[in-house]
Structure 1
Amino acid sequence: MLQIVVPTDFSNNSYNALFYAIKLFKNEKCVFHVVNVCGNGSDSVRKEVQIESELGLDAICHRLIRDAGTNKNHKLKKVSLCSNVPKGVSEYVIDHKADLVVIGNKAKEEVKHILFGTNAMQLVREVTMCPILIVPLEIDFRSIKKIGFISNYTHPLSDENYRALQFFQSMTDSAMVPMSIDDGNLDNTITMHKDRFLKVFSESIFKEVVLPVFKDKTQTILEFVDLWSIDMLCMVYYPHHFFLEFIGNGIIKELNTKLSVPFLILPGQTN
């Protein structure tokens, strides 16, 4: 069974992520680990907040069953952790060999200049052993018909990431739309990585898209998502790589306030 970890702080955005995951994986056998990190204060305080955490988990799971119904393929596991959010979730993901982490994006009016919320961005950096799916708050569930994969192929895609991307493509029966930004850097290594990707997904590729930078990289990606009706966007998180620049320069922060599709982030593992 798939092991899917869904951190929750009982907010609307975290509930929306859980609901989306339940709908997305409706035909897959899954254990959903609904995890609330309730802090690591003194023993007296810890006991009180853990009771509140357990009550909150009962309530959110009850709400989920009421809204989405029961599914014989799914099991819900309620988990209260006394830790800080990134450390607690990351260690839990490792200990339980999670296949995916699903987190909710904050509402636009909540985000302002905060990238996915502080804890969520820390999770992106800390959880490097499995993919992370970020779900925008203000979206309704819809079938995934096109997955946009963005890369400049500087690094090879790891076997683990190929399997993850193939799983999502097969599960959703979606078309793959690989996109790269023409930055003038093309060598034999990049060509080799790109050719392998195109070969692996040859039967599911709808269209390969190579775009110049229109106004800036953020706008280029947003126009790509809109123009090609992308239902899920996917990138690999490589430290010190092309897309880390997005984080360093605040470009993903801008993407985050405008992107209206789920964002699948694959860990930057290499073979």
Structure 2
Amino acid sequence: MLQRTRRSVRHLVRPYPLRDLPAGTMLDLPGRGQTFVTDSGPKDAPAVILLHSVLTTGLLCWYPVIPALNERYRVITLDHRRHGRGIRSDDFTLDDAADDTVAVADVLGVDRFTAAGFSMGGGIAQLIWRRHPGRLNGMVLCSTGPFFSEQDPRAQAVAEKVGRFSAPLYKVLPKSTRLDDTDAHTTVWAFRQFLSTSLPDFGMFGEGLGRFDSRDWLGDIDVPTSVLVSTRDKVVPPSRQQLLLDGIPGARRFEVHGGHACCVLGAEDFIEPFGAAVDAASVHVPRAIRS
């Protein structure tokens, strides 16, 4: 326990550095709204859309992996609705987030892509496969499962309390407009990104996560799928991550020996297995001959 605490403090004080962070823009999604999007790497390369976790942003969740992926992929990030500079909607569902992602692909002229999701983003990736047949070349599911613990009424009550009690604090916290200031220390930049999402929405996010459950249709998934298991995860236990491997035909297992925030806190151990997982899922092989 003490060792994990020391590791977390070290990552906060000396986080993975900002390197070659792509510039972004507000993208209009007809009939849906506007969201912040980055689009980097060779435009003629296979496309990977990165789907972030709850209470983060597209860049905050994924900034460590983007430069390496850009060497061989077109990499797209977006802020999911009610996160960061995402669509300002009255409610939040993973179904809407999945549809938003496909709308981003449409506007950018991307027909097929690999969806890589971390935690909440993994649920969104699964819903893209279900709601938009034929759009995915593959999926990479990181630190996620076929359902989220917010289905537990007690967990949902905690989420609602966090949202309710954080509302007064959020009102007095400084709201930075310098989200694109990459000259700042990484911790300062990350804190600004974090505060760009409304903490009082936590209860709404918990409710949206709690509605997601893919267990009944995991066996129908027919695209190459990589499951990156965070072996020290206390939020989405490895046993729940294993359900994806057990349920999705031909799914391949990759591992990172980290906790639930391993994509950022301990990113140096995340980048290599994540890249391998993307490579494995991005080669479209017919289901009948996949191993």
Q: How would you bin the TM-score normalised by the shorter chain?
A: under 0.3
Choose between structure 1 and 2: higher strand proportion: 1
- Larger-gyration structure (1/2): 1
TM-score relative to the length of structure 1: 0.28
